[in-house]
Amino acid sequence: MARLDVTEVFHGISFPGHLHTQDSLQLALKFPFQDTDILIVSYPKSGTTWVQEVVSLISSKGDTHISENVPNWARSPWLEQYYCAAVLESSSSTPRVLTTHLPQHLLGPALHGSKAKVIYVSRNPKDVVVSFYHFHKMANFLPEAGSFPEFLNLFLEGKLSYGCWFDHVTGWTNQTATMNNLYHITYEELSQDPRGAIKRLSSFLQCPLVEDEVNSCVKQCSFSSMKHNKMVNYTLVPEAIMDHDKGSFMRKGKIGDWKNMFTEEQSQHFNSVFKSKMQGCTLEFVWDERDKEETRADKLSPLNNTKL
């Protein structure tokens, strides 16, 4: 299935036709979740692959065999992508780990009443848009990136593939009050306190780890380790689909890289759009690597107490 130039518009949101069909998207909305399922949910470029890796490692108690031998899309397929059903059929592993970029208003009904464990991953949106911009340059299944100012406007208008970041984050995180099987983890938390973040996630997944197992997870999911791991760095994807001469999937892996792309004016404009779209949202965001020293690990995530 190449369809590199095809875009599927589904409920007003654009999805790359290389990975999605109207049928696969429609099937996702009726996905029969099992109570034992683990679902990783994110807007693109928020740390999806990182959390996939952490969940694999936690589930295997720090054993790196799966991490080193099974591509991430085969161990935690995107449920809206066309190959998901085939992957699930050929795998007998429990719990099943699934991934999705779908917004809450579309996927919520399928999860209603389910005890599946849902992990929502978010990241500072300025870093998301920069990462997404660079990814558009190498991913031949996404539209042309255009200039950064053009791309930034499309992001702020919610017109990029996978829809609006603001709707995605507010839609899912608003559920934390009512869904006790939803856990919110942030890219920044994983970056600043990987050990603590892994321990908290393992406890949410009811898969407690001993110290050596935590050590192994921390090491294996570090940026340098994942950058060189073919099972997660997407170098297994053919050049025609992802052009690795134009960039790396594991690009920088940093907090605050947006400062290398945004002008002061763009940053001010972003802040004002952010303020109006996130009204009433209590999430706090880490905007800068320097916030690291000021941010205490115990202020980070679990559930509603989230500092982004």
- Of residues 222 and 235, the one with the C-beta less far from ligand PPS: 222
Q: How far is the CB of 255 from ligand PPS (least distance, A)?
A: 9
Please report whether residue 46 would count as binding ligand PPS according to CB under 6 A.
yes
Q: How far is the CB of 178 from ligand PPS (least distance, A)?
A: 25
- Of residues 33 and 187, the one with the C-beta less far from ligand PPS: 187
Residue selected from 49, 161, 176, 202 as contacting ligand PPS according to rule CB under 6 A: 49
Q: How far is the CB of 308 from ligand PPS (least distance, A)?
A: 14
115 contacts 181 by C-beta, under 8 angstroms: yes
Whether residue 101 lies in the annotated active site? yes
Please report whether residue 252 would count as binding ligand PPS according to CB under 6 A.
yes
Query: Which residues in the 131-150 window bind ligand PPS by CB under 6 A?
Result: 131, 134
- List the structure tokens of 208: 């407690």
Q: How far is the CB of 297 from ligand PPS (least distance, A)?
A: 17
- Of residues 52 and 206, the one with the C-beta less far from ligand PPS: 52
- How many amino acids of this chain bind ligand PPS (CB under 6 A)? 21
* Distance of alpha carbon 146 from alpha carbon 152, whole angstroms: 10
Among 18, 20, 101, 134, the one annotated catalytic: 101
Identity at 245, one-letter amino acid code: D
- Of residues 3 and 252, the one with the C-beta less far from ligand PPS: 252
Residue selected from 24, 42, 173, 301 as contacting ligand PPS according to rule CB under 6 A: 42
Please report whether residue 100 would count as binding ligand PPS according to CB under 6 A.
no
Please report whether residue 47 would count as binding ligand PPS according to CB under 6 A.
yes
Query: Which residues in the 216-235 window bind ligand PPS by CB under 6 A?
Result: 221-223, 226
3 contacts 22 by C-beta, under 8 angstroms: no
Q: Which residues, other chains included, contact 145 with Cβ-Cβ below 8 Å and sequence gap of 6+? A: 133, 136, 137, 151
- List the structure tokens of 243: 């052009």
Q: How far is the CB of 131 from ligand PPS (least distance, A)?
A: 3
Residue selected from 24, 48, 173, 175 as contacting ligand PPS according to rule CB under 6 A: 48
Q: Largest alpha-carbon pair distance within the chain? A: 52
Please report whether residue 250 would count as binding ligand PPS according to CB under 6 A.
yes
Residue selected from 31, 33, 50, 165 as contacting ligand PPS according to rule CB under 6 A: 50
Q: Footprint of ligand PPS on this chain (CB under 6 A)?
A: 42, 44-50, 127, 131, 134, 191, 221-223, 226, 250-253, 257
What residues are annotated to the active site? 101
